[in-house]
Every structure is written in structure tokens, then in C-alpha cells.
A and B are shown apart, each in its own frame.
Chain A
């Protein structure tokens, strides 16, 4: 294992430990559990559609709570290390800034994965307790939802790097999240535009993540279950975001 890779893992697992020791992680976990419980109540009200409601609403609530947790942590993580000067003790050592960023991103990805697994375990337990079987696509849906979380947390960290304010980073990330779910509507708007507006929106659309690609039901209905495209899109987008984060952070002063 190379020295650089060891540094990334070291920073990443330290970040995971930090998050898991914080009260915020517990708060979001309880929040997610409550939302899933609400889906249980809604399922009961749906009578003959209980299983579908419980699965769909539970998945949506899990994603929403993990999304809130991810953008909050991604926006806070480096800012907190700057405020406490912990970053001084790291970057004054033989650690490349690119490796520090990779480590912090790994820490967020690991943390959201752990929280997602725990929340999904609660959701699955409720489904089993109610005597419902879980369709195989459930796990693909969770994985694809996690891909969206990975993308939005990388975006939140990037925004924090140049806004220097956690609040504005959270706000912009929420906007990107919403826009990312309306890319087909934005594409429709392209047909109505011309000139500079058209190119501006095209460029904006190019930068905005297309979260609709990760809607499992759409993938199944439109491309017959070809998951390669969204998977490739995920890898390319996250790689590009990593390099963007490194580029911005390279020039940052503390």
C-alpha cells in the first residue's frame, strides 16, 4: 500500500470515527427512523396498497434524511477543521492536499454509507415485521440513492471550498439537489429558447447532476434495466468533482 493511499485511508477512517462520535449523527439517525415510522402509519392508512406505500415512502424518507445529513456534514467538515485549526496539524505534515480532500470525501462516503445501512436495516425490519417480502430491486434502489448522496456531498464540499460559509453551501446544495431532479424538464425548456439563453442553459444543464438517471423505476421502464449508463455517469461525475475539489483546495490558504 502506498504512503498516499495510507494517508487517504487514515484521514477517511478518522473522519468516520469523528462523525460517529458526534451527536449530530445520532440526531439524523433518529430523524430517519421517525420518518420511516411515519411511512408505516401511512402504509396502514393505504389499506390494500400498504406494501407499496411502506416501501416507496420509506425509501423516499430514508433518502431525504440521509441527504440532509450528507450536505450538513460535507459543508461542515473542512470548515470545522479550519475553525479548530486541526487542519494545521495535518497539512503541516507530509500529506498532499489532494490526499487530504480524498480522505475527507472518503470519510463522508463511509459515514453516509454506514448511516444508510442502519436506516435501511430499520426499514427492512419494519417490512419483515409487517410480513411483506422485499423485491430484489429494493437493494438497487438503495444503491442508486446512495450514488446520489455521494454526488451531492461532493458538490456540497466543493461549494464550501469557495463560499467559505457552511450555510450558503447547504442552501446551494439543496438547490442543486432540486434542479438535479428536474433535468428532463430543463431539457424541455431548451427547445423553447434560442441564442445566448439557450447556450447558458445548455452549459448549466451540463454542470447540473442528472439525478433522474438514478431513478430505478425509470431505468427499468425506459432502458429495460440497463444500469451501466447511470453507473458510468456516477463514476465520471464523482471523479470530476474530486478533481474540482482538489483544484479549488490547492490554492486555499489557512
Chain B
């Protein structure tokens, strides 16, 4: 029996938008249910405001659901033991500009519960893995967007998590960086890591994912298996456009 890594059961999220006298409710997710099993790569696809980042924030415990049930490794997203098993890459990660990549990794590694010695030993290999080994002595202030993204992946991988959550991992990157990150995602998955990523890049999701969840207006429109776009002759883009077009009209 395969192990369930993530389980969303009728999750509901309503944000409160501040108003003049009282806050206004702004529904973001409405009864979202899906699950991810060990060693899967699952993509999240949707238009702006469909609820992709909300799902990712719920997984990482940055926000709380108003209804339904969310379990990661069978426990609450707030559980500290669970958080230690997750690696998270936010969209456009930011690092303190005065830090070198090694210093930044040392800081986040220690917050992940690793000893300074363990982090220092892991840093060279992790920087090699993301292609930053030649930039160890530079400060983050000098880094390009692509280099910051690579460092973002490095901090997410540092504590060797079982479950990787990536929000727009290839956003704004050049083609070489996109290919490097795609290869890295595939290689991490071959090591047994479960990967959950949201992206606007349909072609990237098509290349790496085994399954793609299409979100529309805070609900799951459909869950598309790889076979559907690889065998049927219909591209994921066509499937996605057909799915969201009624919402646009």
C-alpha cells in the first residue's frame, strides 16, 4: 500500500479583506479534496486567483483552513515534526542581501534543526547540486533572479526533506536555468522524494508531472493523469484551456 503524503479533505479557505467598518469575506478555496502519494510529482495549474498559492500556504502552515481537513504524513500542517519533513520554495525567494549563500544556508539549516557542523558539511554538495558552487563567496545582493531561485531550491533541500513544495519554481528564469531545475526535480523524484509544484508554465508541468490538478475559482476542476496528455494526442495546454474557458466567458 502506498503512503499518503498529503491529504486535502473538503478544505475551505476564506480570507478576510479589511473594510472600513468590518472585514469582508473573500473565498479562496471551496471544498478542495485531493491527495498525493509518496514519490509522486503532482502539479497545480490554474489562472491567477484560482487558489494555487493558498493551497501551498496551507500545506506549509502559513495560513489556516476555515473548514475541512488537511493532513501531511497523517498529521496537521502545524506539527513541527511534519514541518521538518517538508522543503518549501516560495515564489521569488528573497535572501538577506549581506549574506553569502553559505551563510544563508547555515541560518536556514540551523532553523531546520541541523547542527552547524552538519550544515557546513552539506553546503558544498547542495550548492553543487543547484549549480551555485562557483558563487560561494559572493553576497546574495549580487545574485541574479535565477541564482536566487537556485539558492531558494538549495535551502529547501538542505535538510533532506521527503516532501518538496515548490511555488512557481521556474518563474522568470532563462531557458538554461529552467532545464537545470527541471532536471533537478526529476532527479530528486528518482531519489524517492514527493514533489508538489504550482506553475503557470504548462509545458514544464507537462514534462515533469505524473498528475496535474486543474484549479478554477477555488475548486478542483479536474485531475489529469499523464497518460491523458501523453497518449491521447491532446496537449496539457489544450486540456487546461478547455477546462478554464467556461470560467473566462
Contact = CB atoms under 8 A, between A and B. Distances in A.
B108 interface: yes
B94 A86 contact: yes
Contacts of A96: 80
Chain B's interface size range is 20 to 34
Interface in B125-158: 155
A94 B88 CA distance: 12
Given A86-B94, A92-B61, A94-B83, 15 more contacts: A7-B111, A14-B107, A18-B98, A85-B91, A88-B60, A89-B93, A90-B111, A91-B61, A92-B62, A92-B88, A93-B108, A93-B111, A93-B112, A95-B80, A96-B80
Interface string A77-114: 00000001110111111111000000000000000000
A18 B98 CA distance: 8
A93 B78 CA distance: 10
A88 B62 contact: yes
B64 interface: yes
B90 interface: yes
Contacts of B81: 94
A192 interface: no
10 residue pairs, one from A and one from B, having the closest CB atoms: A94-B80, A92-B60, A84-B94, A21-B98, A92-B88, A253-B63, A94-B83, A94-B84, A88-B90, A254-B62
A253 B64 CA distance: 8
B96 interface: yes
Contacts of A254: 57, 62-63
Interface of A: 3, 6-7, 10-11, 14, 17-18, 21, 84-86, 88-96, 164, 253-254
Interface in B16-67: 18, 57, 60-64
B92 interface: yes
Contacts of B62: 88, 91-92, 253-254
Contacts of B57: 254
Nearest to A10: B110
Interface in B62-109: 62-64, 80-81, 83-84, 86, 88, 90-96, 98, 107-108
Nearest to B82: A94
Contact of B92 (A11, A18, A85): A85
